[in-house]
Every structure is written in structure tokens, then in C-alpha cells.
Amino acid sequence: MSQTERELIFSKYDGKCAYCGCELTKGWHADHIEPIVRDSKWNRDKGRFEQTGTCRKPENETLENYNPSCASCNIQKNSYTLEQFRTNIKQFVNSLNQYNTQYKFAKRYGLVKETEVDVAFYFEQFKNK
Ligand SMILES: [Zn+2]
């Protein structure tokens, strides 16, 4: 990807993460909105998966399919579609209620209040400005 392309992606939402809306900092990621799903294979000698350099959806490799993203949103989104990512985030509350004692305590003592808001990405609200 060229520097000009990266600058275009960066400025798409005024230097903010397309998903959470935080200010992008050094090391921001260019996320594929529709995933390309990189192929990887197990390297037995190194004990880890390694990318092969090919992907399952090369047709998604277009400038329009990139969103600027903070590292944590991009890593969490992984190879999810937007709707899968939204569902994934929504399920965090269920996981916290099931497995996180500190969260359950904070909720019991009124420090945390759950809401039924829909997960809205920054770029979806940006369009309406
Ligand atoms: Zn983000």
C-alpha cells in the first residue's frame, strides 16, 4: 500500500478509528471492512501459524474496502464481517456476567449499569453528521 493510500484511509473519518471513534495514533491499522481472510498454515518447527501470502477473498482488496482502525478494534474484528463484529461486541456483556467476578461485584454495587443500546460504529454516526 502506498503512503498516499494510507493517508486517504487515515483521513476517511478525520483521523479517528472507524469503529470506536478514538483518535488514531502511530501504529494504526488499515482494516478490511469485508475481510480478505488471509491463509495461514501451521509451522511445526516454530510452533505457530504463519501467513502464506494468499487470501480467500482477494476481490475485497480495494481501497474502498479499507477503514482506518485502532489496533485493538482491528485485532478484535479479526476476520469478522461488520455484523459479526457487532454481535461479538454485544456478547461481551454476557461473558462478563458469566465469568468475571470483578464485573459482577461492580454491577452489584451499582458501579456498572448495563443498557440495551445497539452497538453503533463511529463511521455509521459519522455519515449522519
Ligand atoms: Zn477503535
Domain harbouring 28, CATH code: 1.10.30
Residue holding cell 465469568?
A: 99
Per the model's pLDDT, the better-predicted residue between 87 and 56 turns out to be 87
* CA–CA gap between residue 62 and residue 4 (Å, rounded): 14
Does the structure show a pLDDT above 80 at 127?
no
Residue 18 within any structural domain of the chain: yes
The DSSP call for residue 16 is: B
Stretch 70-83: mean pLDDT: 95
| Gap from CA of 75 to ligand 1 centroid (Å) | 10
* CA–CA gap between residue 23 and residue 25 (Å, rounded): 6
Q: Which residues have CB less than 5 Å away from ligand 1 (the ion)?
A: 17, 19-20, 70, 73
* CA–CA gap between residue 63 and residue 86 (Å, rounded): 22
Q: Three cell numbers at 124?
A: 455509521
Domain with 79, as residue range(s), is: 3-93+120-127
Residue 111 within any structural domain of the chain: no
Angle between helices 82-90 and 92-99 (to 10 degrees): 30
pLDDT, one tens digit per residue, over 8-25 is: 999 999 999 999 999 999
| Gap from CA of 28 to ligand 1 centroid (Å) | 9
